[in-house]
Amino acid sequence: MSIQWYPGHMAKAKREMIEKLKMIDVVIEIADARVPYSSRNPLIEELSGQKPRLMILNKADLADPEMTKKWQAWIEQDGTKTLVIDAQHGKGMKQIPEAVREAAEVLLNRWERKGIRPRALRTLIVGIPNSGKSTVINKLAGKKIAVIGDKPGVTKKQQWIKVGKEMELLDTPGILWPKFEEEAVGYRLALTGGVKEDIFDFQDSAVFLIQYLSRVYPELLKQRYDLNSIPEDMTAFFEAVGRRRGILAKGGSIDVDKTAEMIFRDFRQGSFGRITLEEPPHPKRDDGTT
């Protein structure tokens, strides 16, 4: 099953973002540290052009810390400044204003040479749905301005938000892109809340998760469901887990759909531990490819 989600308001948000970019000094992109590749919108790099950019890996408290270090190093190979934060608990937030100033250093030096009195830096803050963008904004502003929700698509319109005297943030709705070229991207975004639940199947997403955990985090998977070994056959896996959790249908058979949803919810709630759902590609070559 291929997962795709690009509602009309996202196309509108993209057009509005393009219109505002000419007045933007720095672009901040928020990504989910559990899926640093899949949660980066390829349109952002294309649209932001030569604007200075700051990459933020949010929700680091849910991600594998060693994998996050590898992803940060990989992203920074092309000179993109990258911060690792946990906005929900306020960790790493103090780094952001200084990093924005560093990103805008060329512009600030130009103003100084020309004798222009510095104004607040205009920063565009972007990210896919449910990346924690609104939480980041509220923490920076020191008050609840942006609407927060655990479902994608909560922010529907743009708004300017002042952060002290030195920075203004333009908040934009979470934007995806028209088509996920890789099927795995859709599954990862389904698992981390980047797409609405009514457009995908819990069983397919749970199978994707189980197969990945079996390969990368087998011990965490066994511990969670008290398994001595991980059945290779998915039917046998659902049978084993469903029996242990007592998720039965009429007649005593396993309710596979409810078992799959339970596994899905376990991941969403962080019950497996700190997990990253993708590994960095091979190091970039001098031409920027991998």
DSSP labels for 188-252?
HHHHHTSS-GGGS-HHHHHHHHHHHHHHH-HHHHHHHHT-SS--SSHHHHHHHHHHHHT-B-GGG
Dist CA 283 CA 34 (whole Å): 19
Q: Is 233 exposed, middle or buried (0-12, 13-18, 19+ CB in 10 A)?
A: exposed
Q: What is the pLDDT of residue 157?
A: 62
Provide the pLDDT confidence category of residue 7 given band limits of 50, 70 and 90. low
3-class SS of residue 267 = helix
What structural domains does the chain harbor? 8-171 (3.40.50.300), 201-268 (1.10.1580.10)
C-alpha 215: how far from chain center: 22
User: In whole angstroms, what is the distance from residue 206 CA to residue 187 CA?
Assistant: 9
Higher-scoring residue by pLDDT: 43, 25? 25
Q: In which residue are the tokens 């990862």 written?
A: 188
pLDDT band at 68 (very low <50, low <70, confident <90, very high): very high
Structure tokens at 66: 């060693």
Strands (E), 6-59: 26-32, 53-58
CB atoms within 10 A of CB 60: 25
Calculate mean pLDDT across residues 216-223: 97
CB atoms within 10 A of CB 172: 20
Residue 151 pLDDT: 47
Spell out where the chain has E strands. Answer: 26-32, 53-58, 81-84, 121-127, 159-163, 167-171
Q: Residue 287: its pLDDT value, please? A: 47
pLDDT band at 46 (very low <50, low <70, confident <90, very high): confident
Confidence (pLDDT) at 11? 64
Q: How far apart are CA 92 and CA 244, in angstroms?
A: 40
What are the tokens at 61?
């408290």
Q: What is the mean pLDDT of the chain?
A: 86
> Do 99 and 57 contact (CB within 8 A), yes or no?
no
- In DSSP terms, 168 is beta-bridged to 122, 162
Q: What is the pLDDT of residue 9?
A: 57
